[in-house]
Structure 1
Amino acid sequence: MGLTSNKVLALAVVVAVLLFVATVWCWPRLANRSWRAVLGRIGLLLAAQLALFSAVGLAANNSFLFYGSWADLLGQENQMGVVEDHSAGAKHVKVVGKQRLDVPGGSNPAVGGQIQKVVIEGQRSKIASPAYVYLPPEYFQPEHRKANFPAAVVLTGYPGTAENLFKGLKYPQTAFKQAKAGRMQPMILVMLRPTVAPPRDTECVDIPGGPQTETFFAKDLPKAVSGFYRVGTKPENWGFIGNSTGGYCALKIALHHPGTFSAGAGLSAYYKAAEDPTTGDLFHGDHTLRRRANVLWSLDHLPPAKTSFLVTSSKEGEGNLKDTLKFIDRVKAPGRVSSIMLDSGGHNFNTWRREIPPALVWLSGRITA
């Protein structure tokens, strides 16, 4: 049974309840001062507490999807390797699985769309990363068989998993419902995590002598996807959206690459690259690279481009409010900036689930097929 399985959670709750009952039942029998009784009381208390904390932890993980599998929890996730295919004419997107969307009629792709699990191989960066591609129902309908669709790169935070984007944050389900209601156009979503060299947090930058993550997201990924799916190659065909680290990446890459992306949305984004034990040395002493990785600095020093930005924060509960207001103030024409400001909301899935529907509608209005 998987880490996020409801059966695992139910089993943990049952074990916790049984140990609590056992503790109450056995306590009178262990009331004397013998060493066996003392060890018995300690054992029951520890077991009951451990079971309780396990049940609470599983419930929290099921709600927020901090970890997607047992291997991810134990630090054994090794799915994201670096693959280089030297065969002539090799495709840079490989479909390795398909699954239905959890919506009415989801078993039929022409009714509910489809999520495809793929591996995207970077021609320039030599990085390969698994991803999930949501294809809307229209993609499979005969009357649209020759139509192109707009696409958006969707990134989760660090150290999240790509599964978070459709299991917890429900991006495809939201896009399906919003398009069905006529509030947005059908859109392809390319969903993945921001780190492509796990467990290192690469902050979507090109690391000297290391992973060329920015090149992968800004150059390789759009080219590979456009060559495999019916997506255009112009900036007006592409958007970028993400939360937390993914939000920082979305803003930074849309800002630095207006020739690839015409819109970037950062949900609870921060505005300069983190530098800590999870990132390692990102810049190797190159202050130019470090300044460039600061989105606020880049707004002041790069020529303004015709790029649209969306930023989000909360008046209470988010730590990025001050920098978000600075970002809004520094965007210059012909660039455009919009915002979602909640009265309260923390840095968590519940906040982002309140922001994703209007953010997707906004993004749909900024990109086109």
Structure 2
Amino acid sequence: MGLTSNKLLLLAVVFAVALFGATLWLWPRLARSHWRVLLGRAGLLLATQFALICCLGLAANQAFGFYAGWADLFGTETNQGIVVDQSANSGTGGPLQVVSTSKVKGGSGADADPQTAGQIQKVDIVGQTSHLAAPAYVYLPPEYFQPQYRTRTFPAAVVLTGYPGTAEALVSKLHYPRTARDLAKNGRMQPMILVMLRPTLAPPRDTECVDVPRGPQTETFFAKDLPDALLAHYRVGKRPGSWGVIGDSTGGYCALKLAMRHPGTYAAAVGLSAYYSAPIDPTTGDLFQGDRNLRDHADLRWLLKHEPAPDTSLLVTSSRVGEHNYKDTLNFIREVRATDRTRISSIILDSGGHNFNTWRREIPPALQWLSGQLTDR
């Protein structure tokens, strides 16, 4: 059974309840002070607590999408996302391949038609320059399939998870496709293509969207390879003003950095609960290999002070209570406002933690704002 399987969670709950019942049943028999009896009591308590912790862990993982499977959890993934040559005669060449399609949930039963509900395509993307590969989900709005729009191009938003997050959570937990469809249907945003994926392209390593010296060229993948692959496959606007990027936590930092360092690609970015410089910890390893210039250019506040202000629009979010980035976000806003070209907006909640519930409150207005920054040409 998979790590995110409902059957596994149910089995864990049943096992925990059974252990609890066994503890109540056996406790009177373990009332003596013999060392074996004491060991038996300690074993029952530890086993029951371990079972409860497993239940909580599995439930939290299902709710927040931290790990996609057992290999992801234990860090045993061996696929480093390196492109493998494919047969030229296989008929599957190209930087983007559609693996499967599904409908957008949350509508009526009649919404299976893409012209009514849109469509989600699971795709594999390979980077022609970075030599990295990544799975992703692409949401195509209903208008994409309607005959009257057959020659129209659409703005695109790259949507990034946090670390270690899963791309599936952007669809099933944060409801990006459903939210985008409903907002466009109500006239609150223009129809947009969403490209949803993890910022981690060399799992289990957290690369923080950095071109690591002699390592994964993650920034190049998002700045060049991903737009090239989408332009080759979908009717996406070709001008810089047609592209935006949004993400939460690590994905929020990546989104802001991509727009600030590559304004010719991304006209706008949204950082939900973002931080503003790349951390160095056991999950990242040495991202900069002693290169101080590379480290400085991964610090967004350093960029504002030492580089020309980029011509891009940014939206940042935080909460007065519950978010650790509140003060940093206020400082970042103040520093952006001091520039002459970069535009800044914000969503500041009274309270809200670093979690899916908070981001679900911020995503609708953030998508509406992002839509207003982009053109369809």
- Give TM class, smaller chain: over 0.9
| 2:236 match | 231
- Determine whether 1:361 maps to 2:372: no
- Determine whether 1:96 maps to 2:96: no
Alignment-mate amino acid for residue 76 of structure 1: T
- Determine whether 1:343 maps to 2:346: no
Q: 3-state SS of the aligned residue for 2:354?
A: coil
Distance in 1 (CA, whole Å) between partners of 2:199 and 2:42 is 44
| 2:57 match | 57
Structure 1 residue 201: Cα displacement: 1.3
Q: 3-state SS of the aligned residue for 2:134?
A: strand
Q: 3-state SS of the aligned residue for 2:373?
A: coil
Q: TM-score, normalised by structure 2?
A: 0.92
2:314 to 304, 309, 315: 309
Q: Cα RMSD (Å) of the superposition? A: 1.9
| 2:202 match | 197
Q: Encode CA deviations 1:47-99: one digit per residue, 9 max, x unaligned.
A: 22222111122222222221222332232334552114377794111112222
Structure 1 residue 191: Cα displacement: 0.8
Between 1:181-190 and 1:41-50, the stretch displaced more is 41-50
Q: Tell me: CA distance 1:43–1:241, structure 2 relative to 1, closer, same or farther (3 Å).
A: same
- Determine whether 1:277 maps to 2:282: yes
| 2:9 match | 9
8 Å Cα contact 1:131/1:162 also seen in 2: yes
8 Å Cα contact 2:288/2:294 also seen in 1: yes
8 Å Cα contact 2:163/2:206 also seen in 1: yes
Q: 3-state SS of the aligned residue for 1:322?
A: helix
Structure 1 residue 119: Cα displacement: 1.2
Q: Tell me: CA distance 1:118–1:262, structure 2 relative to 1, closer, same or farther (3 Å).
A: same
Alignment-mate amino acid for residue 336 of structure 1: R
Structure 1 residue 4: Cα displacement: 2.4
Structure 1 residue 208: Cα displacement: 1.7
Distance in 2 (CA, whole Å) between partners of 1:287 and 1:7 is 49
8 Å Cα contact 1:250/1:266 also seen in 2: yes
Matches within 5 A, 1:115-126: 115-126=120-131
Structure 2: state its 5+ residue gaps. none
Structure 1 residue 12: Cα displacement: 2.1
Between 1:233-242 and 1:93-102, the stretch displaced more is 93-102
| 1:21 match | 21
Q: Encode CA deviations 1:192-230: one digit per residue, 9 max, x unaligned.
A: 111111121111111122111111101111111011011
| 1:175 match | 180
8 Å Cα contact 1:123/1:220 also seen in 2: yes
Q: Encode CA deviations 1:261-282: one digit per residue, 9 max, x unaligned.
A: 1001111111111112222222
Alignment-mate amino acid for residue 230 of structure 1: R
Q: Encode CA deviations 1:84-137: one digit per residue, 9 max, x unaligned.
A: 437779411111222222122443222222211111111111111111111112
| 1:155 match | 160
Alignment-mate amino acid for residue 327 of structure 1: F
Structure 1 residue 308: Cα displacement: 0.7
Alignment-mate amino acid for residue 367 of structure 1: L
- Determine whether 1:43 maps to 2:43: yes
Between 1:329-338 and 1:185-194, the stretch displaced more is 329-338
Q: Tell me: CA distance 1:151–1:80, structure 2 relative to 1, closer, same or farther (3 Å).
A: farther
Distance in 1 (CA, whole Å) between partners of 2:122 and 2:79 is 13
Distance in 1 (CA, whole Å) between partners of 2:288 and 2:77 is 26
Structure 1 residue 34: Cα displacement: 4.7
Distance in 1 (CA, whole Å) between partners of 2:173 and 2:358 is 12
Determine what percentage of the aligned residue pairs are the same residue: 65
Structure 1 residue 356: Cα displacement: 0.9
Q: 3-state SS of the aligned residue for 2:72?
A: helix
Q: TM-score, normalised by structure 1?
A: 0.94
| 1:111 match | 116
Alignment-mate amino acid for residue 102 of structure 1: K
8 Å Cα contact 1:84/1:128 also seen in 2: no
